[in-house]
Amino acid sequence: MLSRLGALLQQVVETREPSVDLLEAFTEHWKGITGYYLEATDESVPARQTDIPWRLKQMLDILVYEEKQHPAGEAGPCLEYLLQHKVLETLSTLGKAEYPPGMRQQVLLFFSRVLGQVQHPLLHYLNVHRPVQKLLQLSGDRLGSGVEKEEAQFVAVLCTKIKQDPTLLAYILEVSKGAEHPSGTAAAASPRQAEPSPPRRDSNLITSLMGLCKSKKSRVALKARENLLLLVGLAQEAAAACLVRSSTLCQLLTEHLCDLYSAVPTSTDPADVLALERALPQPHENLAAFFGWLDYLDELVMGAHPVVADAITEAVEEKFFQGILQPQLLQMSELDVLSATAVLTGTVRQIRSPPLLRCLVLFLLGSDRHPETPGDTPHPLRTQLIDRCNHLSDEISLASLRLFEELLRKPHEHVAHSLALRNLQARGYLQRSPPVPDEDLEEDPYFTDGFPDAGFGSAKKPLPGSAPSGKGQVSEVVSSFLCLVPEEAKTSSCMEEGGYDTYVHDALGMVQACRADAAPWGWPPAPRPLDACYPETAFYEGHFLKVLFDRMTRILDQPYSLNLQVTSVLSRLAAFPHPHLHEYLLDPYLNLAPGCRSLFSVLVRVIGDLMQRLQRVPHFRAKLLLVRRQLMGLVPGEQMDHAMLFKGVVVLEEFCKELAAIALVKGPPEGPP
Q: Are residues 555 and 638 in the same domain?
A: yes
Look over the chain and give the mean of its residue pLDDT values, rounded to a whole number. Answer: 84
Tally of domains within the chain? 3
Q: Which of 246, 248, 238, 209 has the alpha carbon at shortest distance from 307?
A: 238
Distances (CA, A) of 179 to 122, 130, 176, 183, 192: 21, 13, 9, 12, 12
DSSP assignment of 8-27:
HHHHHHHHHHHHHHHHHHHH
Per-residue pLDDT tens digits for 43-91:
889 999 999 999 999 999 999 999 999 888 888 999 999 999 999 999 9
Query: What is residue 488's predicted lDDT score, i.e. its pLDDT?
Result: 85
CA distance 500 to 475: 13
Tell me the pLDDT band of 669, cut-offs 50, 70 and 90.
low
Q: Are residues 107 and 214 in the same domain?
A: yes
- Percent of the chain whose predicted confidence (pLDDT) is above 70: 83
Average pLDDT over every residue of 419-440: 78
Domain coverage including residue 297: 248-365
Residue 460 has pLDDT above 50, yes or no: no
Query: What is residue 276's predicted lDDT score, i.e. its pLDDT?
Result: 66
Tell me the pLDDT band of 163, cut-offs 50, 70 and 90.
very high
168 domain residue, yes or no:
yes
Residue 280 has pLDDT above 70, yes or no: no
Query: What is residue 443's predicted lDDT score, i.e. its pLDDT?
Result: 42
Q: Are residues 170 and 293 in the same domain?
A: no
Which of the listed residues 328, 344, 365 is the one where a domain comes to its end?
Answer: 365
Which of the listed residues 365, 393, 409 is the one where a domain comes to its end?
Answer: 365
Residue 180 has pLDDT above 50, yes or no: no
Query: What is residue 445's predicted lDDT score, i.e. its pLDDT?
Result: 38
Average pLDDT over every residue of 167-191: 54
Indicate the pTM of the whole model: 0.84
Q: Are residues 233 and 327 in the same domain?
A: no
Q: Are residues 211 and 263 in the same domain?
A: no
- Please return the burial class of 53, using the count of CB atoms within 10 Å of its CB with bins 0-12, 13-18 and 19+: middle
Per-residue pLDDT tens digits for 106-122:
999 999 999 999 999 99
Tell me the pLDDT band of 16, cut-offs 50, 70 and 90.
very low
Residue 18 has pLDDT above 70, yes or no: no
Q: Are residues 100 and 154 in the same domain?
A: yes
Residue 523 has pLDDT above 50, yes or no: yes
Q: Are residues 311 and 400 in the same domain?
A: no
The helix/strand count (H/E) of the chain reads as 31, 0
2 domain residue, yes or no:
no
110 domain residue, yes or no:
yes
Q: Are residues 350 and 382 in the same domain?
A: no
478 domain residue, yes or no:
no
Report cis status (omega within 30 of 0) of the bond before 100. Answer: yes
Query: What is residue 448's predicted lDDT score, i.e. its pLDDT?
Result: 37
Per-residue pLDDT tens digits for 83-92:
999 999 999 9
Stronger pLDDT, 440 or 171, i.e. the higher one: 171
Per-residue pLDDT tens digits for 301-353:
999 999 999 999 999 999 999 999 999 999 888 888 998 999 999 999 999 99
Average pLDDT over every residue of 633-662: 88
166 domain residue, yes or no:
yes
Q: Are residues 240 and 252 in the same domain?
A: no
Q: Are residues 403 and 279 in the same domain?
A: no
Stronger pLDDT, 397 or 184, i.e. the higher one: 397
Q: Are residues 493 and 380 in the same domain?
A: yes
Which of the listed residues 194, 227, 246 is the one where a domain comes to its end?
Answer: 246
* Backbone phi, psi, residue 369, to 5°: -125, -5
Per-residue pLDDT tens digits for 463-500:
333 334 445 688 999 999 999 998 888 887 666 666 67
Torsion angle, alpha carbons of 51, 56, 62, 68, to 10: -150
11 domain residue, yes or no:
no
Tell me the pLDDT band of 135, cut-offs 50, 70 and 90.
very high
Q: Are residues 234 and 257 in the same domain?
A: no
Q: How far is CA 325 from the centre of its chain?
A: 16
